[in-house]
Amino acid sequence: MSAAQHPAVSVIMPVLNEERHLRNSVRHILEQEYAGEMEVVIALGPSTDRTDEIAAELVAEDPRVHTVPNPTGRTPAALNAAIKASRHPIVVRVDGHGMLSPNYIATAVRLLEETGAQNVGGIMHAEGENAWEDAVAAAMTSKIGVGNAAFHTGGQAGPAETVYLGVFRREALEKADGYNIEFIRAQDWELNFRIREAGGLIWFSPELRVQYRPRPSVRALAKQYKDYGRWRHVVARYHSGSINLRYLAPPTAVVAIAAGIVVGAAVTPWALVVPAGYAAAIVAGSLPAGKGLSLKARAQIPVALATMHMSWGYGFLTSPRSLAKKVIASRRPAVREPDAPVA
């Protein structure tokens, strides 16, 4: 590929309290095996740790790194601010705890050209740094944990509903008017839905891999998946026809297990077969998922699976209609507004 075939790339990164991983994540960007021009725009939320200090150090160390403020702390607002402050025709989304593989950008640019897609993405490759995170990573990359979502479990390259993070053509983001700022979660799925509705192609490829660091505790994982379920229900209300059976499995399980416990305690113990069967299923499913992990990590996989399933289902079931009405009534800010101040 000649130099003329390496379009300039803007990497956008929303960050909030990312002192643990930010420097390493940016290093994985700056060390990409890509011959084209590149910039990194970090959108800084109101962090309470050393994130801002680390970001300032990164700006001082490399002229390709810039920052832009995101006073709301919300991810979609951060992404829109970074898009506005960036300037190149290819836009790569990366999170502050994501680590790009060395040829990620080069491969993504090639796939955009080969497929004609508006957005390409690949596998969210979860990797832990301790036994609990290893357990969560195993759960997040297993079919019993997340169903048949290709960007979690892998699969053949091809058109997709959504992809992890994404590498976009700027014109696609501008045509879509960027991310909907009301979607605190599920903003990727919602944006990709609108791109597809406008005739654009979203392309998944297992060639693209991003290392992802799982949440460090049961409580943090439960909050993450409760928010996922809550906002996925908002997407379903906002975009009719966007739901499928995979998304209905967790809320169905929550209702069935709760009913089994209540009926089992009040009427007949036979109803306890439902929660007992679920417990047996996740224990059995954790065995292949934990292959190669430590005994301590394998023992925690059923906890991770149950936390993900129950929290997602509970969030879906309790998602308030008032939240969906707020989203429907909102207007998306265009990403073509004047640039925000850049540091």
Encode pLDDT of 177-205 as tens digits. Answer: 999 988 888 889 889 999 999 999 999 99
Give residue 3's pLDDT band: very low, low, confident or very high (50, 70, 90). Answer: very low
Is-contact 288 203, C-beta < 8 A? no
Question: How far is residue 313's CA from residue 331's CA, in Å, rounded to a whole number?
Answer: 28
Find residue 93's DSSP bridge partners. Answer: 12
Strand ranges inside the chain, DSSP E = 9-15, 38-44, 65-69, 90-93, 98-100, 119-126, 158-159, 164-169, 202-212
Neighbouring C-beta atoms of residue 115, cutoff 10 Å = 16
In this predicted structure, the answer to whether residue 320 has a pLDDT above a threshold of 50 is yes
**Tokens at 9, concatenated:** 């790339």
pTM more than 0.85: no
The string of DSSP codes covering 41-54 is EEEE---SSSHHHH
Instruction: Express each pLDDT in 218-245 by its tens digit.
Output: 999 999 999 989 988 888 887 776 666 7
Contact assessment for residue 163 and residue 313, using Cβ atoms and an 8 Å cutoff: no
The whole-number average pLDDT for the span 49-73 is 96
Helices assigned H by DSSP within 154-293: 170-175, 187-197, 218-238, 245-266, 273-289
- pLDDT for 93-120, tens place per residue? 999 888 999 999 999 999 999 999 999 9
- pLDDT at residue 241 in the model: 66
Q: pLDDT band at 148, cuts 50/70/90?
A: low
Banded pLDDT at 321 (limits 50, 70, 90): confident
Q: Under 8 Å CB-to-CB from 269, ≥6 apart: which residues?
A: none
